[in-house]
A = this chain, B = another copy of it.
Amino acid sequence: MNPEKQKALQSLKTAKGQIEGIIKMIEDERYCMDVSNQIVAAQALLKRSQILILKQHLNHCVKDAIQQNNWEEKNDEMMKVIEKIIT
């Protein structure tokens, strides 16, 4: 596994732990603005994972695709993901 994927995995595991914490907070009827702040923090971890996955996609998959001459397909695929993220 490349280093970006390893870091993404770590972020996702932390995000999972945070979401478990948020679920417990709601079940314990904790104050909702504390819940909101924790959701913002979990979102930041998912964003970080997404950046790492896209980075390694460009560095590895797209590089391979260039050599195999099916780069345009990869390009369209990544652009669709970026479009979903932006809008």
Chain B's closest residue to A59 (CB) is B75
Chain A, 18-74, CB within 8 A of any chain B CB: 19-20, 22-23, 26-27, 29, 31-33, 35-37, 39-40, 42-44, 46-51, 53-59, 61-62, 66, 71
Q: State the main secondary structure of chain A at its contact with B.
A: helix
Question: Cβ of A8 and Cβ of B26 under 8 Å apart?
Answer: yes
Question: Cβ of B46 and Cβ of A81 under 8 Å apart?
Answer: no
Interface residue ranges, A against B (CB under 8 Å):
1, 5, 8-9, 12-13, 15-16, 19-20, 22-23, 26-27, 29, 31-33, 35-37, 39-40, 42-44, 46-51, 53-59, 61-62, 66, 71, 75, 77-79, 81-87
